[in-house]
Amino acid sequence: MEPPPLPPRKSIIRWKWLEPLTLLAPAAIWLGLLLVLPTIVIFELSLVPNIRPGMVVNPSGIDNYLRVLEPINFQVMGRSLFFSIGTTILCLILGFPVAYWIAQMAPKRWQNLLLLGFILPNFTSSLLRSYSWITILRHTGVLNTVLKSISLPTLDILNTSAAVFVGMAYSYLPYMVLILYASLEKLDRSLLEAAADLGANPLQTFWKVTVPQTLPGIAAGCLLVFISVLGDFVDPELLGGASSMTISRLIYNQFLGSTQNWGFGSSLSMVLILGVSIAIALLIKYGDMKPQR
């Protein structure tokens, strides 16, 4: 018995373009329902001034966006950028030596274990980590107890910007280290040896050989930490006190606080979404750039 004839080759080619669409359909539906549709709803609410739960949505203008431009709200957004940029720089300064040591100096058999130990605290809840820092930084906490025991003056850090930086750096430093490690692990050591043979000192070798080769990892790590910190709510709320109002806390107050102004909260949310989208676009563009040689 002869096998059935195969379909014409042209018909197979004709419908082959449907295959990627079929594979992407579940993810596209998921993103559409949980990302695109809620964003459209938020944008519609942002056009309604002074809307509260139970009111009819009737878009009428950009009054909420004009309110975003008020000096006090600009101050809040500036503080959010200050925390994001400062934490990113702090994580880069602290994370680069750690990632370099693990990637280039630590024994190969210990590298994975060291990375696991470094990111292990992130397996716990961010809320629990923040409360742990409250226990350490409060006036009668662990830090001041140790300082008193060695006859040093105590520090009043809790409910200040310094406490926010400490908590955020602790939370997001592992992300920076992991990305830098992946970049530094691929470092071409022959270029380092060539620089040394040509008379370059360690500092010159670092700036002219190591940094150019790891620029994609540096860019990706900085942008990832910046995006994460920009939307952080827990650390400024618990460690910074009332003087550390950020855009995330301001949005929370508009939706769930006493203010209950969903229109203004939605406009702030759209501003935050726009800022994060720009940072993600930069991450996509510069995170994949080729190392300079």
Q: Report pLDDT digits (tens) over 129-155.
A: 888 999 998 888 888 899 888 888 888
H, E, C per residue of 253-282: HHHHCCCCCHHHHHHHHHHHHHHHHHHHHH
Angle in degrees, 0-180, between the axes of helices 247-256 and 71-100, rounded to the nearest 10: 130
Interior/surface letters 220-244, b for 16+ CB within 10 angstroms, e for the rest: bbbbbbbbbbbbbebbbbbbbeeeb
Spatial separation of the C-alpha atoms in residues 183 and 215, rounded to whole Å: 8
Spatial separation of the C-alpha atoms in residues 92 and 187, rounded to whole Å: 18
Contact 89, 221 (CB under 8 A): no
Q: What's residue 120's pLDDT? A: 84
Range of weakest confidence among 26-40, 49-63, 105-119, 215-229:
49-63
- Which two three-digit tokens encode residue 125? 């809840």
Q: What's residue 15's pLDDT? A: 58
> What does the pLDDT average to over 2-7?
60
> What does the pLDDT average to over 264-281?
88
All structural domains of the chain: 62-287 (1.10.3720.10)
The structure tokens 């700036």 sit at: 207
Assessment of whether the complete model's pTM goes beyond 0.85: no
Question: Is a pLDDT exceeding 90 seen at residue 86?
Answer: yes
What confidence category does residue 188 fall into, taking pLDDT thresholds of 50, 70 and 90? Answer: confident
> What does the pLDDT average to over 50-68?
73
Question: Is a pLDDT exceeding 80 seen at residue 55?
Answer: no
> What does the pLDDT average to over 17-25?
73
Phi and psi (nearest 5°) for 16? -65, -25
- Which two three-digit tokens encode residue 33? 């329902």
Q: What's residue 290's pLDDT? A: 57
Range of weakest confidence among 48-52, 223-227, 230-234:
48-52
CA 199 to chain centre: 39
What confidence category does residue 97 fall into, taking pLDDT thresholds of 50, 70 and 90? Answer: very high
Question: How crowded is residue 157: how many other Cβ atoms within 10 Å of its Cβ?
Answer: 21
Cα radius of gyration (the chain): 25
Q: Where are the alpha helices (DSSP H) in the chain?
A: 9-15, 18-31, 37-46, 63-68, 71-100, 108-119, 126-137, 142-149, 161-184, 189-197, 202-205, 211-213, 215-230, 234-235, 247-256, 262-287
